[in-house]
């Protein structure tokens, strides 16, 4: 499948990547909307200090659940419209305990420190999707 990858500052490529493997606690989401914000622009410019290149962009995303792992409850139905949380917080650092997962000292945000949603399909842990 195709993805938009920022390979270096000011260098974007349309690349082929493998379809994601679906884990037991993950849902497979077909992307419908991916927003771009100031973080993406700064990553493109090379001025975002936490960016890791190369990286598939996109951390503001929504889509449709097309499949789910065996351990995912019926709370998330196939065909559900969902919004993705891009953060991978630890839950125990001071920022997480204060309810600020975006500031987690171990956070890896989609599209910045790990591959993002500017592609067709994303596999993501069920706790990171919210239904409309």
Task: Report d(CA 10, CA 91) in Å as an integer.
Answer: 34
Q: Which two tokens stand for residue 17?
A: 């990547």
Query: Buried b / exposed e across 46-60, counting CB within 10 Å, b at 16+?
Result: eebeebeeebbbbbb
What's the pLDDT at 59?
Answer: 95
pLDDT tens readout for residues 23-41: 999 999 999 999 999 999 9
Q: Which two tokens stand for residue 70?
A: 């065996």
Ordered domains of the chain (ranges, CATH): 2-131 (3.90.180.10)
pLDDT tens readout for residues 72-128: 998 899 999 999 999 998 999 999 999 998 899 999 999 999 999 999 999 999 999
Write down the pTM of the prediction.
0.91
Q: In what order do the strands lie in the sheet with 60-68?
A: 121-125, 26-35, 60-68, 81-84, 129-131
């Amino acid at each position: 499948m195709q993805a938009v990858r920022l390979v270096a500052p000011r260098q974007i490529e349309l690349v082929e990547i493998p379809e994601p493997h679906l884990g037991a606690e993950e849902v497979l989401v077909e992307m419908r909307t991916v927003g771009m914000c100031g973080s993406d622009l700064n990553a493109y410019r090379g001025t975002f200090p936490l960016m890791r290149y190369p990286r598939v962009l996109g951390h503001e995303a929504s889509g449709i659940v097309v499949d789910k792992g065996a351990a995912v409850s019926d709370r998330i139905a196939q065909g559900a419209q969902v919004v993705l949380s891009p953060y991978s917080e630890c839950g125990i650092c001071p920022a997480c305990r204060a309810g600020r997962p975006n500031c987690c000292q171990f956070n890896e945000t989609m599209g910045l420190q790990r591959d993002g949603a500017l592609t067709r399909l994303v596999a993501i842990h069920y706790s990171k999707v919210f239904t409309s």
